[in-house]
Chains A and B, each alone.
Chain A
Amino acid sequence: MPSHPEGILESSDPTSEENPRTQDHQPDLQKLHIQSSETDSGKASQDSALDNGHDDSGEFVVTMLARSKVEEQGMGTKDASSPLSETGTPLGPPSHRNEDVTADSWRQHRKHVFVLSEAGKPIYSRYGSEEALSSTMGVMMALVSFVQSGDNTIRSVYSDEHTVVFTQRGPLVLVSVSSSRQSEQQLRQELLYVYNQIVSMLTQASITRIFEHKKNYDLRRLLAGSEKILDGLLNLVDSDPSILLSAVHCLPLASSLRDSLSQILQKSITPNLVFSILIAKNQLLTIVQEKTVIEDARLEPSDLHLLLNLIGASSAFQAGEIWTPICLPSFNPDCYFYAYISYLDPPECTVCLVLLSTDKEAFYSVAECKRKIEEAMQTQNALNSIAKAHLYSVSQVGVSDLRHFMYKPFDVPDNHRQLTQFTSPEMEAPYSSEEERMRLLDLYRDMHSRIHSTSRPLKLIYHVAERETLLAWVTSKFELYTCFSPLVTKTCAINAITKLLRWIKKEEDRLFIRYPPKYSTTPNPSKSSKSDAH
């Protein structure tokens, strides 16, 4: 990232740059907007004054929907929310269910995700079998079509404890039932990821074709076996801030080493190869791209997340060399790439090579590229150096009260669009346990939703919570989330951020992939596989 935030801090008004997200006040660092931890502003859940009594029928979703407010978005009119009970939706009596889905433990899952077809056929449920939940899905579908028939599209339902978000993509309806207190926007983005992961396996064109052909097709026939991939994605969504930030986390690496790895990839090419990606410990080491293919497009972070999830969700990948079609939905939702996936360090299997080709028949020539890459890496003893690479500790920043941060620069080199990245240290004590890590991520998610609120976006939040103090700051150059010990003063925090930004500037060659290298494998530029992506 050549342009850099350090200069901004020295200006008197750090947020004076135009920021399209912000319509209201522009606080500067000295006039921090303080919101206490108790505040839960902007959460529509507060609006719903519905009784909190526990209900003993098994119809978790049905009950919740029936007692909640429905937010509809009209086709042009922003209609006021209307309680569902007044619409007279014929919600049937609770039907019989399997024991597991009626159990309290099933209801208490933090976030349920359901995918169903427009005809109401269950496709996926994060917890419980789709069969057992088919009546729930049917109710959801009834709700969706009821609202659709009134020319409205159902978008979300809020109750005291849950947020239900609906989204329709082509013939698929996706539903998130969450008690995570995330914003509707965030939940919707997560559902989009789920949809895109399904597209990554089937392509949008074939999903559309299938349902055009047969409206009540059972898509599970095609997705059978893929549940683990979707489960893995949802776990990633909950536990990895990459998806929240829509950015790629790359493994910190001396730029000389990263460059030499890139050069190895650059030299080991074959016709129709379009992306060469090297991954270690589930993080990006380097990515090299074909010139002509990416003239009008680039690999979006979301596509890379989907690809990484697909690789991570399958331990079967760890033996042998995989050759499989994969669609990168943001790049082009209707076409397949052919992915060659192989680990370079068996049996540990932490360093993974992914080569994407547009040629279905190219396995042997792509596999030959891997041999070349392996050989070159051996001569440079690169695997050894990679093994030494690891996340950094926040203590390296040298700011005493700083516990953790996430920094995502927006700046883009002049000549080509960059892969959006972020950097973040390891989560260390007091965030080393699973629960504490999740709690910190939830705090970040909350800050993120307030920063990106559509109704009242903020540029700066100084949030004093019980066990920590958080400061989130978005400028035209970067988005930053920091976590301090609770005793930090505002002045301290501001000084710390100045220091942190200096440190990042100093380390940026190591923390980020600065200039993604390219190669040319397509002799004829018209072969660009990007035919109808946007």
Chain B
Amino acid sequence: MPQATRTKKPDVKVVILGDMNVGKTSLLHRYTERKFKDTISTVGGAFFMKQWGPYNISIWDTAGREQFHGLGSMYCRGAAAVILTYDVTNWQSLAELENRFLSLTDTANADCIFAIVGNKADLTDTRIQGPDTDGEQVDERQPVVTCPTSPAILHKQVSREDAIALYSHVLRYKGLEEKACLPADKMCFETSAKTGYNVDSLFESLFDLVLPSILKKRSEGESSTVDLESPMEVKTNKAGCCS
């Protein structure tokens, strides 16, 4: 059974992936600190612990830079949920999810759940600023706080349909039956770290969705807790040299 010193160990792991500059750090910052502030491109990965009811949820904010690409699968190891993040104003950032990031999730749990998140929705949100909308239905669960001096509206390069298509690609890649999985419309989010739009609902619905995974692990007892902590493969090259 877990010892007292282990109580702060994570019960479950959530990983945020996506190209640099899409706003991964900003999203996490908005959620944990309720703020939008200047960020600096993340190096490696940053580990956060979030108390969710009686559970400790660990969140890894990873670097999107190509420089750190090799580390992605390490951060994903044993993940119960992966947040694939793109920037709604940058089509390439969606393409990168499939090209570059999807394969990193091979090390995640077999029952890992995926969320597709289009961030920077504030840049294309037209509901307040004009009728130039592409018929986008925006989730109403949270009020949109729009900056009164909004900059010029940017062209939305990624539609919700594109994101939904990516979601089914992800399931196919994982060899999962679409019918047996969480539905795409529930797992595709559009958010704004800047205004806070949809950010809480993204994290909180995801946390609720990983609860079964926690319970399953708990019922399996101590061994699975240890599994999360310890590397799956033993490195022969302890020196860490990359030659």
Query: Is the beta-carbon distance between B41 and A226 smaller than 8 angstroms?
Result: yes
Cβ of B67 and Cβ of A363 under 8 Å apart? no
Kindly provide the distance from the CB of A65 to the nearest chain B CB, expressed in whole angstroms.
32
Which of chain B's residues have a CB closer than 8 A to the CB of A313? 40
Q: How far is the CA of A339 from the CA of B48 in the complex (A)?
A: 16
For B240, give its contact among A201, A221, A319, A360 (CB under 8 Å).
Answer: A360
Indicate whether B182 reaches chain A with its CB closer than 8 angstroms: no
Task: Tell yes or no: A197 within 8 A of B by CB.
Answer: no
Name which of B113-121, B168-176, B186-194, B231-239 contacts chain A. B231-239
Q: Does B220 contact A (CB under 8 A)?
A: no
Asked if A371 and B8 make an inter-chain contact with CB atoms under 8 angstroms apart, the answer reads yes
Chain A residues positioned under 8 Å from B45 (CB to CB):
322-324
In the complex the two chains form, is B46's CB within 8 Å of A316's CB?
A: yes
CB proximity of B37 to chain A, nearest CB, Å = 9
Q: Are A319 and B235 in contact (CB under 8 A)?
A: no
Known A-B contacts A225-B41, A314-B43; A334 and B241 likewise in contact (beta carbons under 8 Å): yes
Residues of A within 8 A of B43 (CB): 201, 310, 314, 316, 322, 324
Contact between B66 and A222 (Cβ–Cβ < 8 Å)? Answer: yes
Would you call A321 and B46 a contact (CB within 8 A)? yes
- CB of A83 closer than 8 Å to a CB of B: no
Question: Do the beta carbons of B42 and A325 come within 8 Å of each other?
Answer: no
Return chain A residues, CB-CB under 8 Å to B8.
Answer: 371
Tell me whether A302 is interfacial, beta carbon within 8 Å: no
The 8 Å CB contact of A529, one of B20, B41, B229, B239, is B239
Known contacts: A325-B68, A325-B71. The answer to whether A205 contacts B242 by CB under 8 A is yes
Interface residues in A343-380 by Cβ distance below 8 A to B read 357-361, 363-365, 367, 371
Task: Determine if B238 and A319 form an interchain contact, defined as CB atoms under 8 angstroms apart.
Answer: no
Query: For chain A, which range describes its interface: under 10, 10 to 19, 20 to 34, or 35 or more residues?
Result: 35 or more
With an 8 A cutoff between CB atoms, is B243 at the interface? yes
Taking CB atoms, residues of chain A closer than 8 Å to B63 are 225, 324
A529, B33: Cβ atoms closer than 8 Å: no
Q: Do residues A335 and B243 form an inter-chain contact, with CB atoms below 8 A?
A: yes
* Contact of B44 with A224 in the complex, beta carbons under 8 Å: no
Number of interface residues of B (CB under 8 A): 39
Q: Which of B1-58 contact A (CB under 8 A)?
A: 5, 8-9, 20-21, 25, 29, 32-33, 38-48
Complex CA–CA separation, A371 to B6 (angstroms): 11
When the two chains form their complex, are residues B67 and A336 in contact, meaning their CB atoms are under 8 A apart? no
Known: A201-B67, A313-B40. Is A365-B229 also a contact (CB below 8 A)? Answer: yes
- Please report the C-alpha to C-alpha distance between residue A378 and residue B238 in the assembled complex, in whole angstroms: 33
Quick one: which of A201, A361, A527 contacts B239, CB cutoff 8 A? Answer: A527
A202 at interface, CB cutoff 8 A: yes
Report the minimum CB–CB distance from B236 to chain A (whole Å).
11
- Once bound together, how far apart are the Cα atoms of A222 and B66, in whole Å? 6
Closest to B46 in A: A320
What per-residue 1/0 map shows which CB atoms of B66-88 lie under 8 Å from chain A?
Answer: 11100100100000000000000
Interface membership of B125, Cβ < 8 A: no
Determine whether A163 belongs to the interface, using a CB cutoff of 8 Å to chain B. Answer: no
With A and B bound together, what is the CA distance between A512 and B228 in angstroms?
42
Which residues of chain B have C-beta atoms less than 8 A from A367's C-beta? 47
B42 touches A316 (CB 8 A): yes
Within the complex, the shortest CB–CB distance from B240 to chain A, in Å, comes to 4
Contacts of A320 in B (CB 8 A): 46-48, 61
CA distance A332 to B242 in the complex (A): 11
Is A68 an interface residue, CB under 8 A from the partner?
A: no
Complex-state Cα separation, A310 to B41, whole angstroms: 12
B48 touches A224 (CB 8 A): no
Tell me if B65 is interfacial: C-beta within 8 Å of chain A: yes
Q: Does A45 contact B (CB under 8 A)?
A: no
- Report the nearest A residue to B69, measured CB to CB: A222
Give the shortest distance, in Å, between B120 (CB) and chain A (any CB).
17
A226 touches B67 (CB 8 A): yes
Specify which chain A residues have a CB less than 8 angstroms from the CB of B40 in the assembled complex. 228, 313-316
Docked Cα-Cα span, A361 to B44, in Å, equals 13
Contact digits for A299-322, partner B, Cβ 8 Å, 1 yes 0 no: 000000000001001111101111
Distance (Å) between the CB of B45 and the closest chain A CB? 5
Mark each residue of chain B from 103 to 138: 1 if its CB lies under 8 Å from any CB of chain A, else 0: 000000000000000000000000000000000000
**B47, A225: Cβ atoms under 8 Å?**
no
Which residues of chain B have C-beta atoms less than 8 A from A317's C-beta? 46
Give chain B nearest CB distance to A199 CB in angstroms: 12
Closest Cβ–Cβ distance, residue B3 to chain A (whole Å): 12
**Which residues of chain B come closer than 8 Å to A324, judged between CB atoms?**
43-45, 63, 68
Question: Is A60 interfacial (CB-CB < 8 Å)?
Answer: no
Q: Is the CB of A335 within 8 A of B47?
A: no
Given A202-B67, A319-B46, is A335 in contact with B25 using a C-beta cutoff of 8 Å? Answer: no
Does A527 contact B238, Cβ atoms closer than 8 Å? yes
Tell me if B47 and A224 are in contact (CB < 8 A): no
- A324 to B32: give the CA distance in the assembly, Å: 22
Cβ-based interface call for A203 (8 A): yes
Contact A334 B243, beta carbon cutoff 8 Å? yes
Closest to A225 in B: B41
By beta carbon, the residue of chain B nearest A203 is B242
A364 CA to B60 CA, complexed, in Å: 13
- For chain B residues 209-225, which have a beta carbon within 8 Å of chain A? none
Is A321 a contact partner of B47 (Cβ separation < 8 A)? Answer: yes
**Contact residues in A for B5 (Cβ distance below 8 Å):** 371
Chain A minimum-CB-distance residue to B70: A325
Residues of B within 8 A of A371 (CB): 5, 8
- A335/B241 in contact, CB under 8 A: yes
Contacts of A332 in B (CB 8 A): 241
Given contacts A315-B40, A363-B47, contact A335 B240 (CB under 8 A): yes
Bound state CA distance, A339 and B28, in angstroms? 22
Most A CB within 10 A of own CB, among B29, B67, B228, B231: B67
Asked if residues B242 and A335 are in contact (CB atoms below 8 Å), the reply is yes
- Whether A361 touches B235, Cβ cut-off 8 Å, given contacts A224-B65, A314-B43, is yes
Residue of B nearest to A315 (CB): B40
Check if B29 sits within 8 Å of A359, measured CB to CB: no
**A528 contacts B by Cβ under 8 Å:** yes
Known: A228-B40, A316-B42, A322-B46; 20 extra A-B contacts, CB below 8 A, are: A222-B67, A224-B65, A225-B41, A228-B41, A272-B240, A314-B42, A315-B39, A319-B48, A320-B48, A322-B43, A322-B47, A323-B45, A323-B47, A324-B68, A337-B240, A357-B240, A361-B231, A371-B8, A529-B239, A529-B240
A-B contact pairs, 12 of them (CB 8 A): A201-B43, A225-B41, A228-B40, A228-B41, A314-B42, A322-B45, A322-B47, A324-B43, A324-B45, A337-B240, A359-B235, A361-B74
The 8 closest A-B pairs by CB, nearest first: A324-B44, A225-B41, A361-B231, A358-B240, A320-B46, A335-B241, A529-B239, A321-B47
